[in-house]
Amino acid sequence: MTHPWFAASAAPRVLAHRGFVPPDAEGIVENSIAAVAAAHGTGARYVESDCQVTSDGVVVLFHDDDLRRVANDPRPVAAVTHDELHRLMARRGGLLTVADAMAAFPTLRFNLDVKVAAAAERVGRIVAPHADRVLLTSFSDDRRRRALAAARTRGGEPATSAGRTSIARTLAAVTTGSSALVRRALVGIDALQVPERHGRMRIVTRRLLDAAHAAGVEVHVWTVNDPADMTRLLDLGVDGLVTDRAEVAVRTVAGRA
């Protein structure tokens, strides 16, 4: 059965990458309250975000390991308290914890990337009551599985997308042409979230899409900001676009309906 996370809209899906920062916005940064609210305002049903942990153990929506790029502060996120980060983000759109995101945006689906090991079990426990609208992922399959296991201890079963090792196994299986090997590589996986290319290697191909779809798995491509690329990938048959330009992607998808 399809996980409820996918029921917010029919494919193709728009996943607002770290929320949405309008091109003319001043002072708003990614993953903030304002950015997630702006993504919601575009009509996007899905928000892709990232999980870091503060020094006092609060899981926050934040991509980078440190504050340098977002707040011109060299400290790691793990070295500041929640209150310190809250003050820093107050003039940048507002800090969102994972718990606050679940409460403040009850109609949004979240695609949460577990960035650090310290976040894995914490994220799982927090999202367990909201598992119908959460997809957990990580480049690390170990972190992803730990987060899922923690959610299950609280009675939740979030959706999940493949980590780096699972993706590599899937790509290898696709080259063999064996549907059985592809299905084995994708056991317990709901989505593949991949870039179109990795260096010179093309990842998103019709062959991959057909193999994933035959196994009941969606393919979401990141990070797609050009309208022509959006259209080309949708024509190819991808199921979701992870994008910084949610407003453009929503219009592009709606124009094809």
**Rounded Cα gap, residues 184 and 233, in angstroms:** 26
Per annotation, catalytic residue among 3, 40, 63, 86: 63
Number of independent structural domains in the chain: 1
Where residue 229 sits, what CATH number does that domain have? Answer: 3.20.20.190
In a domain, 90, yes or no: no
In a domain, 115, yes or no: yes
Provide the residue range defining the domain that includes 182.
Answer: 4-50+99-254
**Residue 257 pLDDT:** 76
Q: What is the pTM of this model?
A: 0.96
**Rounded Cα gap, residues 223 and 233, in angstroms:** 12
In a domain, 86, yes or no: no
In a domain, 77, yes or no: no
Q: Using an 8 Å Cβ cutoff, are 140 and 114 in contact?
A: yes
* Residue 17 annotated to the active site: yes
Per annotation, catalytic residue among 17, 40, 130, 220: 17
Residue with the two structure tokens 């991808």: 238
In a domain, 76, yes or no: no
Q: Using an 8 Å Cβ cutoff, are 19 and 30 in contact?
A: yes
In a domain, 78, yes or no: no
In a domain, 68, yes or no: no
The count of other CB atoms within 10 Å of the CB of residue 177 is 10
pLDDT by residue, tens only, the chain of 257 residues = 689 999 988 889 999 999 999 998 899 999 999 999 999 999 999 999 999 999 999 999 999 999 999 999 999 999 999 999 999 999 999 999 999 999 999 999 999 999 999 999 999 999 999 999 999 999 999 999 999 999 999 999 999 999 999 999 999 999 999 999 999 999 999 999 999 999 989 999 999 999 999 999 999 999 999 999 999 999 999 999 999 999 999 999 999 87
- Radius of gyration (Cα) for the chain, nearest Å? 18
Number of H helices, E strands in the chain: 11, 11
**Residue 9 pLDDT:** 86
